[in-house]
Chains A and B, each alone.
Chain A
Amino acid sequence: MGIIEVEDVSFTYSGSKRPALDHVDLSIKKSEFVILTGPSGCGKTTLCRCLNGLVPHFYSGDFRGRVLVAGLDTREHEIWELSQHVGLVFQNPENQLFCLTVEADVAFGPENLGLPREEIRRRVEWALKVTGMWELRHRPPHELSGGQQQRAAIAAVLAMKPEVLVLDEPTSFLDPAGAAEILSLVAELNKRLGITVLLVEHRLDMTSPYADRVVVMAKGRIALDGPPEEVLTSREARELGVGIPKVIRLYELLAERGLRLPEVPLSPGQMASLISEVVRCR
């Protein structure tokens, strides 16, 4: 069984007529890196909210089906319990940092859990170091760059020691440099610490090389789900307006002209080595 099991989940926000999620099934295995993408309003954020219990505990509405997180049914466990398994990082870093220093913010979650002081200290130090925020720990969040703020927000969530990190468009408020900074941090957390990642992103150019799977949603349903090479070359993905990475477009254009590469490349570096391989063979 996966660490996250979404089983036939439908959800309609109270006061809303259309369901935001419509019979969604999704299973994520431990240490997987999954990208979730899809047009605006298709229900990505709502799905993220289901994973740590914000739906149905914080957002009320009509909830059907079942979500299991590390074996816990989200309807039967409270957000604070689930948040020790699934850490949620939001779009706007500013609204997730409410203390006057980075360190105090990272301590906020473990403090709420009422952990022993020594354990809090250990976790805070670990989270700050793993995100590269140790030197900046005494700084007030509003004096930091967007990328640094988002790293602080990730540290704050990591201090809860979750197995799964869910990031809802964490780079959309950042400049390209800040975005790259965050994405490589997330990739490193996944690779080095084996943290399971669900990343909601539109910028697939930057992220698809890291991904084991790409999931595309449309109108509250899962439209596509598979390895990036498969999903991103499919006709449906293009029809749904998924931002196909440039290297994949290039791969397709080369194929149309008769130059078929042995693999679907996901990064410029990979593409360069594939092309030089083919050219050398001729």
Chain B
Amino acid sequence: MSSLLEGLAFQKRDSLLHKLDPRVKLFYALAVMVMAGVHNKMLPLLVMLLAQAPLAALGKIVRLWARTLKASLPLVLLIIGTNLFFTWLRGSLTDLYIVEDILALAVRFLVFVASFSIFTLTTSPDDLSLALEQMGVPYSFCFMFRAALRFTPVMVREARTTMDAQRARGLELDKGGPIARARRYIPILIPLIVNAITRAWSMAEAMESRAWGASRKRTSLYVLRLRGRDYLAFSAVLFSLIMAFYAKFYLKFPYIIPIIRSALGI
């Protein structure tokens, strides 16, 4: 799970995708979500998944992107497992077409992960919050989001230090049953919570001292401006979205199991 989160964290690189306007990239992530949402067959979903690999290459994030996908495998298996289980309860597990549809659901989930990871890996949180701000999302919400990202590594470091400190005092974290273990985490959680509250207070104090909430019309030092490449990328995404809807309503996709079977000769 932690590597899944890591795979969503922004990576500073010099690439075309990184330079793209965050709003265009957000549109891309949402459009892919819609495209994958309206399709439920294996073939189009597989195409959507594979079509994103060149994009990851364009953003110079292939390794991290692949790692994110790999890290989401447990969830994928969970989706497949539960669906297979309920199909089995209904007694229709013998139908291979149903199995393919279930696998398609898992691929759909991978498509979601793939597009959002491309988005988050190439968009700095500052850019994202600026994009939200310029799209009319209230500043306090954007700030909250940014501060959460800013302080996550700090809190993780603090948690590690607290755990080490309590271990040094003889606290054994990985012994005993689940309840005994959970109880042992109390001496770690309490200082963490107290620290978080103290931190929140001093942050609020510092924010107030720097005119937080002074004017309803806050100015932003940075402005996002759409350039030629942004319009180009936007059009490409829009075109794919239209094509996906067209395909959904006017094309009939074959199952791939018979194709594989005939190719293998079984």
Identify the A interface with B (CB < 8 A).
52, 54, 57-58, 78-81, 83-84, 87-88, 90, 92, 94-96, 98-101, 103-104, 107-117, 120-121, 124, 140-142, 156-157, 160
Within 8 Å by CB of A99, from B146, B153, B199, lies: B146
Distance, CA A58 to CA B220, complexed state (A): 25
Q: Is the CB of B214 within 8 A of A52?
A: no
| Binary CB contact string for chain B from 162 to 186 against chain A (1 if under 8 A, 0 otherwise) | 0000000000000000000000000
Within 8 Å by CB of B217, from A114, A142, A156, A160, lies: A114
Q: Is the CB of A104 within 8 A of B209?
A: no
Q: Is the CB of A112 within 8 A of B211?
A: yes
A-side binding surface: helix, strand, loop or mixed? Answer: helix
Distance, CA A81 to CA B213, complexed state (A): 11
| Binary CB contact string for chain B from 190 to 216 against chain A (1 if under 8 A, 0 otherwise) | 000000000100111111111111111
Q: Is the CB of A112 within 8 A of B215?
A: yes
Within 8 Å by CB of B150, from A58, A80, A100, A107, lies: A100
Distance, CA A80 to CA B212, complexed state (A): 7
- Among all A-B residue pairs, the 5 with the closest Cβ atoms: A114-B215, A80-B214, A109-B210, A80-B211, A96-B206
* Chain B residues within 8 Å of A160, by CB: 210-211
Q: Does chain A have a CB within 8 A of B52?
A: no
Given contacts A100-B124, A100-B125, A104-B126, contact A79 B208 (CB under 8 A): yes
Identify the B interface with A (CB < 8 A).
124-126, 143, 146-147, 149-151, 153-154, 199, 202-223
Given contacts A96-B203, A120-B221, 18 further A-B contacts (CB under 8 A): A54-B205, A54-B209, A58-B205, A79-B211, A88-B206, A96-B202, A98-B146, A99-B146, A100-B126, A100-B146, A101-B126, A110-B219, A112-B210, A112-B214, A112-B218, A113-B214, A114-B219, A124-B221
* Chain B residues within 8 Å of A80, by CB: 208, 211-214
Within 8 Å by CB of A121, from B203, B215, B221, lies: B221
Within 8 Å by CB of B202, from A87, A95, A114, lies: A95
* Chain A residues within 8 Å of B125, by CB: 100
Distance, CA A58 to CA B11, complexed state (A): 38
Given contacts A58-B208, A109-B210, A114-B217, contact A142 B153 (CB under 8 A): yes
* Chain A residues within 8 Å of B210, by CB: 83, 108-109, 112, 156-157, 160
* Chain B residues within 8 Å of A95, by CB: 199, 202-203, 206
* Chain B residues within 8 Å of A84, by CB: 211
Distance, CA A155 to CA B243, complexed state (A): 52
* Chain A residues within 8 Å of B199, by CB: 95
